[in-house]
Structure 1
Amino acid sequence: MKSYRPPSPFFQLIHLSIFILILIGCQEKLDLTAIPKGDDGQVFAIDTKDSEIPYLVIDTQGASIPYEPGVPAQLKIYENKKLVQTQRIDIEFRGKTSFRLSDKKGFNFETIDASGEGVDVSFFGMPAEEDWRLIGQVVNKSNGYIWDQSMLYNYIGYELSRSIGKYASRGVFVELEVNGEYQGVYYFCEKLKRDSQRIDIKSLNATSTNLTGGYILTIDKVSIGDAGIGKPLSYFYNNWDDDARYTEQNSFRSQYDIFKNKITFPPFHPPYHQNQHLETYFLYEYPKDRNITEAQKSYIAQYMYDFETALITDDFDKGERTYADFINIETFVDYFIINELCRNVDAYRLSTYLVKDRNEKLSMGPVWDMNIGFDETDRIPINDWVINYNSYVAQDAWMMPFWWNRLLEDPEFRKVLKIRWMNFRSGVLSNSRLTQLVENASQYLQSNGAVARNYEKWNIPGARPYDQAIEELKSYLMERANWMDSEIGNF
């Protein structure tokens, strides 16, 4: 019998190579490599496993995303890795301070047709429109901070506003991939604009003879608009002066300063001049500054002047409150309630919407932009009103208008506020409902793995564990609501 002789090293290497090739072939055939894909073959930047959270893939076909105007792209929406919607869009970056500070950028996009024209489209059952927002929290890796570690602030604020019967931007949580790179958890929501299903007011154009409405004004930083077209993306990282570049075309100024005094110096000085902290500007949101007529400008400016004059001069001790002829008090009360509960330090003085419909009074809202609020901010104590901002921050470029402390001097305004607050606290704003809102949303993100995926992408060393952030958010809401119970109960 011949003795066994093992193959030479050369033949062993050949056998091993053949085995590896066969194995690779089997893996490709059986897809054992587990590359995450949609059912249409789209390869995902990250494996969302069995997540129920919608996964969005945006592809600009190699084009860089600008600040403005947008570039064409394709949007695909997957649910449980199944393609449920494909849409052409026009996408651009969004935000002012958040754009400059955050590594996790936000986006505006418009739905377009094959020719590039805007077209109304419905997403996730929301009413069809063409303007949408993708908002993520601010993450600054180089300086090691996150605003809104819960990723819930905007969602909670808007849900609370809707719960008391006011319109707020509808939206859903999604996970986002842009040009092959995973971006994390975002809030996909409606842009605030005039629309029968959003801010529902009458149209106003150059041929309108009834000047009473509708108008949408904002108290905010200036959007650069058409002046930004053609500027390189690098420009927008340092264009802080543009935030305060108020002009006769884009805005008008209150005739009163933050102390209720008549302003004697002219408006529209250069950005950040020494008296800017005294001023409040009203930006034209609708009609846009390029469309609003001089007659319409004159009407709405006079209306605001008459309202502010009445608010200042009314003698509440004598029962005078002619200011109520100009405003829908309930909307002011509700705006106050939501923004104070959320301790939104940008409210009233930034990201603030005012609406005047045709033949109607001025209304406050909708609420917007809650990313610096709740337990995040340290500018306002948990046991004081946000409207007292001026007592804590000296000469910010955007200070608190005089309206709110003056309104609280009116016993009738306080009475309405007390009635509505107590009614809400016994129902939609009860401690149990507030807690449930936070728990349900955070559990949805956690149980689907989105929190872990987001913070694997946007890890900040030393940041609080997510569970701790949620517990602190719930504790904040209980403490804030209970403090408001005490304060408003004494009105």
Structure 2
Amino acid sequence: MLKLKSLFVVFIVILFVNCSQNEPVGYDDGKPLVSAIEIGNSEIPYVKITTATTILNEPKVAGEMEIYINKKRILDTKIGIEYRGSTSYRISDKKSFGIETRDASGNGINVSVLGLPAEEDWILTGDVFQAPNTIFDRTLMYHYIGYELFRAMGNYASRSKFVEVELNGTYIGVYVLMEKLKKDSNRINIESLSSTDTDAGKITGGYILKIDKTSGSDVLGTHPLSYYDSNWDDDCRYTEYNSFRSNYDINRNQITFAPYGAPYNSNKYLETYFVYDYPKPENINAAQKAYIKNYIDAFETALLTDNFSTNTRTYTNYIDRKSFIDFFIINEVAGNIDGYRLSTFMHKARGGKLKMGPIWDLNIGYGADGRVPVNDWIINYNTYVTNDAWMVPFWWKRLMEDPQFKSELKTRWIELRANVLSTPKVIELTSNTANYLTVNSAIVRNYTKWTGISFDYNSSVNQLKTYLTNRLAWMDSKILAF
């Protein structure tokens, strides 16, 4: 009997420890909402964030986050919060935030937020708004639609939820709460790579690389984001610490000038840099840097030297071609003007091939930007824009010269158009998402906050539907002719 009691006590202790590690105080207690704005019968989750000090760009400051559904509290957790973004941080009045869920001691703690897999790192993304009327995404749906489609295609994309946010007693509008892209079994599922993993069996993975700017604490790790308020040079400050450069320029020529030049130097537009995202710059060691750089170089060399008039391919020894095809499709459907050249993630599992994705950052897309015509491929960005500091790498136009790549792309396109990318399904997703935001009056509240005027949201949604309908039809005309 005593033994049973002892086992019971051990069980209770274990249960208590596990709960304390995964559920913050106040979880799902039903406390009624007292909000800064009347939300009526809205079913959209309402997020209240309070901080004792001013939010910084780096480091995160302590705060509390409560989430309510139908005006009843379903989550109450300690957090760390900071501003995030580079260009969007500087130009947008509606800031985005990075959030870490924490325990009472201020340590990161995995929490399931709005039913999403438990993790500690989250993002609240606001559409870019610059007074008086510059709005990148008037529908508020660009990220969400792209991520939902990419996931429906069978890939991982950041799981996202629309929320309304109140910060320190002030309503700040509609946001998208989303998973931060990172190594995690429920996110980018690759192996851990420690600084001691240098033997042949482990050094092959996992890695996450980005083609991206270097501003932001997540990249450089040496300055707070406030440092970048007016210092645009640090968007383009590549170093051996944070990145490595392709051996080939955007025109497929081997580069002969030295890497890591001054920001925005006259040769920068020719270069492609790969930024270390995992392991982080402060953790990746020299052997690991050499391995992943040599791997990318071997892929690029094979891609350039393979003879596409034969059936032999060696570049496929290095990449998962299907992931490249799906990445191409979603960027082109979304008209992602930053696609391929910024916010571009790729990853490599241990013993595996390089995969593109997940998709990320679609706020300048869907035909709204104008730098590339809606009846051309986004991969042709370099045809319309010259000397941008971030150009499209040669990979994509070279891949489109490969009959095997185009054949596989065609097969995949036909498959997707028969289901998840059929025009009716894409338009249905768009309509249902817009209806969710309008029926719950979130659109009115958001635009009253940020513009103070009546906003023709339906017109913006109809423009998005027209773009998607026409874009899918145009891609049909091109891909089915392969």
With the length of structure 2 as denominator, give the TM-score of the two structures: 0.91
Report the equivalent of 2:20.
none
Quote the Cα distance in structure 2 between the aligned partners of 1:55 and 1:417.
42
Per-residue Cα deviation, 1:364-411 (whole angstroms, up to 9, x for no partner): 000000000003121111110000000011110000100000000000
Quote the Cα distance in structure 2 between the aligned partners of 1:91 and 1:207.
32
Please tell me whether residue 401 in structure 1 is matched to residue 390 in structure 2: no
Please tell me whether residue 162 in structure 1 is matched to residue 151 in structure 2: yes
Deviation at 1:318, TM superposition (A): 2.3
Quote the Cα distance in structure 2 between the aligned partners of 1:293 and 1:253.
17
Of the three residues 41, 62, 65, the one matched with 1:72 is 62
Please tell me whether residue 489 in structure 1 is matched to residue 472 in structure 2: no
Q: Is the 8 A contact 1:375 1:472 kept in 2?
A: no
Please tell me whether residue 173 in structure 1 is matched to residue 165 in structure 2: no
Report the equivalent of 2:464.
473
Instruction: Give the fraction of aligned pairs with identical amino acids, expressed as a percent.
Output: 53
Once the two structures are superposed, the pairs formed by residues 148-297 of structure 1 within 5 Å of their partners are: 148-208=137-197, 209=199, 210-225=202-217, 231=224, 233=226, 235-297=227-289
Deviation at 1:428, TM superposition (A): 0.7
Please tell me whether residue 330 in structure 1 is matched to residue 306 in structure 2: no
Report the equivalent of 2:108.
118
Per-residue Cα deviation, 1:82-111 (whole angstroms, up to 9, x for no partner): 111100000000111111111000000001
Q: Decide whether aligned partners of structure 1 residues 405 and 288 sit closer, same or farther in structure 2, where only a CA change above 3 A counts.
A: same
- 2:158 maps to a residue whose letter is S
Structure 2's unaligned 5+ residue stretches are: 1-28
Deviation at 1:195, TM superposition (A): 0.3
Deviation at 1:427, TM superposition (A): 0.7
Report the equivalent of 1:426.
418
Once the two structures are superposed, the pairs formed by residues 308-387 of structure 1 within 5 Å of their partners are: 308-387=300-379
Task: Report the 3-state secondary structure (helix = DSSP H, G, I; strand = E; otherwise coil) of the residue aligned with 1:317.
Answer: coil
Per-residue Cα deviation, 1:4-38 (whole angstroms, up to 9, x for no partner): xxxxxxxxxxxxxxxxxxxxxxxxxxxxxxxxxx9
Quote the Cα distance in structure 2 between the aligned partners of 1:377 and 1:349.
15
Of the three residues 35, 41, 45, the one matched with 1:44 is 35
Quote the Cα distance in structure 2 between the aligned partners of 1:224 and 1:485.
39
Q: Is the 8 A contact 2:82 2:99 kept in 1?
A: yes
Quote the Cα distance in structure 1 between the aligned partners of 2:374 and 2:333.
10
Quote the Cα distance in structure 2 between the aligned partners of 1:475 and 1:460.
27
Q: Is the 8 A contact 1:145 1:460 kept in 2?
A: no
Q: Decide whether aligned partners of structure 1 residues 300 and 341 sit closer, same or farther in structure 2, where only a CA change above 3 A counts.
A: same
Deviation at 1:232, TM superposition (A): 8.0
Report the equivalent of 1:102.
92
Quote the Cα distance in structure 1 between the aligned partners of 2:294 and 2:452.
50
Quote the Cα distance in structure 2 between the aligned partners of 1:222 and 1:286.
15
Report the equivalent of 2:118.
128
Q: Is the 8 A contact 1:58 1:179 kept in 2?
A: yes
Per-residue Cα deviation, 1:406-460 (whole angstroms, up to 9, x for no partner): 0000000000000000110011100100110000000000000100000001117
Task: Report the 3-state secondary structure (helix = DSSP H, G, I; strand = E; otherwise coil) of the residue aligned with 2:309.
Answer: helix
Once the two structures are superposed, the pairs formed by residues 427-442 of structure 1 within 5 Å of their partners are: 427-442=419-434
Q: Decide whether aligned partners of structure 1 residues 474 and 349 sit closer, same or farther in structure 2, where only a CA change above 3 A counts.
A: same
- Matched pairs, number: 450
Task: Report the 3-state secondary structure (helix = DSSP H, G, I; strand = E; otherwise coil) of the residue aligned with 1:57.
Answer: strand
Per-residue Cα deviation, 1:161-193 (whole angstroms, up to 9, x for no partner): 011100000010000011111110000010000
Report the equivalent of 2:82.
92
- 1:111 maps to a residue whose letter is T
Quote the Cα distance in structure 2 between the aligned partners of 1:361 and 1:230.
34
- 1:326 maps to a residue whose letter is Y
Quick check: 203-212 or 95-104, which moved more?
A: 203-212
Quote the Cα distance in structure 2 between the aligned partners of 1:273 and 1:190.
35
Quote the Cα distance in structure 2 between the aligned partners of 1:298 and 1:167.
28
Q: Is the 8 A contact 1:217 1:286 kept in 2?
A: yes
Once the two structures are superposed, the pairs formed by residues 439-478 of structure 1 within 5 Å of their partners are: 439-459=431-451, 465-478=456-469
- 1:424 maps to a residue whose letter is L
Quote the Cα distance in structure 1 between the aligned partners of 2:422 and 2:369.
23
Task: Report the 3-state secondary structure (helix = DSSP H, G, I; strand = E; otherwise coil) of the residue aligned with 1:467.
Answer: helix
Task: Report the 3-state secondary structure (helix = DSSP H, G, I; strand = E; otherwise coil) of the residue aligned with 1:258.
Answer: coil
Deviation at 1:41, TM superposition (A): 6.0
Quote the Cα distance in structure 2 between the aligned partners of 1:229 and 1:47.
42
Report the equivalent of 2:22.
none
Deviation at 1:42, TM superposition (A): 5.3
Q: Is the 8 A contact 1:140 1:146 kept in 2?
A: yes
Quote the Cα distance in structure 2 between the aligned partners of 1:229 and 1:212.
28
Task: Report the 3-state secondary structure (helix = DSSP H, G, I; strand = E; otherwise coil) of the residue aligned with 2:144.
Answer: helix
Deviation at 1:206, TM superposition (A): 1.1
- 1:342 maps to a residue whose letter is A
Quote the Cα distance in structure 1 between the aligned partners of 2:174 and 2:49.
14
Task: Report the 3-state secondary structure (helix = DSSP H, G, I; strand = E; otherwise coil) of the residue aligned with 1:72.
Answer: strand
Please tell me whether residue 60 in structure 1 is matched to residue 60 in structure 2: no
Report the equivalent of 1:16.
none
Quote the Cα distance in structure 2 between the aligned partners of 1:236 and 1:96.
8
Quote the Cα distance in structure 1 between the aligned partners of 2:151 and 2:221.
34
> Over aligned residue pairs, what C-alpha RMSD do you find?
1.5
Q: Is the 8 A contact 1:69 1:229 kept in 2?
A: no
